[in-house]
Amino acid sequence: MRRNNSVINLTFFAICLALILLMSFVPQLGYITIGVISFTLIHIPVLVFSYLKGWKWGWVYGLVFGLSSFLVAITRATGGLDIFFANYPIVAIVPRLLFGFLSGVVFSLIKKMIPDRSKRKLVLAPTCFILTVIHSLLVFLFLYLFAKDAAEAAFGGAFWPSFYSMIFLVGTLPEAGVAFITVPLICWPLEPFYERIFKNAKEAKKESRRLTLLLEKGLKED
């Protein structure tokens, strides 16, 4: 059966969308809350699919991540930041969109600079760790820009010291550690499978184009 790139892209998008929605709305799966501490794991599928698809689709996966966090915040708030995500949608959505886009750009550059897949293994894990930290910084940067006073009132202290002590050390670093371990373990076996599907689709498209040209040539000769 012939497949084209559009079908593959939509298929991967549907899989990522399903995973994010499942992790978002099943309690304690994508957003894990322990007391007042909240851990986010939905950055994992965003990193995986951004690695496979690059920047052209990375921002889409990030957008879905942001929309899901906003929907969770307004329907069943779980973590301490959900009140800000619900009241300031830009804080919930835009940083995740930028995170997906940036992840896709970084992974695309890594693939271009390190074409050998075995060598990319050495940089994939630390890259995922750093991107996860950047995701957290983006969220708090937007929180600082749009809801600094409300956040300081909720934290009971100055914004950035509160972020560092309450969020970065307790929440962001464990999330980054999970990404460091799990994303490479998922991407390494999945990447050859994806490349094989994509290669088959390109070959099918090329063969279809060749047959079309032959058919047009035959019709002109007749």
Q: Mind listing the domains of the chain with CATH numbers?
A: 5-221 (1.10.1760.20)
Helix axes 5-25, 173-221, angle to 10 degrees: 150
Length of the chain counted residue by residue: 222
99, pLDDT greater than 70: yes
Residue 150: predicted pLDDT: 82
Sequence-separated (6 or more) residues with CB below 8 Å from residue 50: 57, 58, 61, 62, 100, 103, 104, 107
Mode of pairing for the β-strands spanning 31-34 and 37-40: antiparallel
Least confident of 74-83, 124-133, 140-149: 74-83
Cβ neighbours, 10 Å, residue 128 = 28
Look up residue 167 and give its amino acid: I
Could you write out the three-class secondary structure of the chain?
A: CCCCHHHHHHHHHHHHHHHHHHHHHCCCCCEEEECCEEEECCHHHHHHHHHHHCHHHHHHHHHHHHHHHHHHHHHCCCCCCHHHHHHCHHHHHHHHHHHHHHHHHHHHHHHHHCCCHHHHHHHHHHHHHHHHHHHHHHHHHHHHHHHHHHHHHHHCCCHHHHHHHHHHHHHHHHHHHHHHHHHHHHHHHHHHHHHHHHHHHHHHHHHHHHHHHHHHHHHHHC
Residue 78: predicted pLDDT: 66
What tens digit of pLDDT does each residue of 177-215 get? 999 999 999 998 888 888 777 665 554 455 455 545 555
| φ, ψ (nearest 5 deg) of residue 129 | -60, -50
What tens digit of pLDDT does each residue of 68-78 get? 999 988 987 76
What tens digit of pLDDT does each residue of 154-177 get? 777 777 777 777 667 777 888 999
Provide the percentage of residues in the chain whose pLDDT is more than 70.
Answer: 82
Distance CA 147, CA 60 (A): 25
8, pLDDT greater than 70: yes
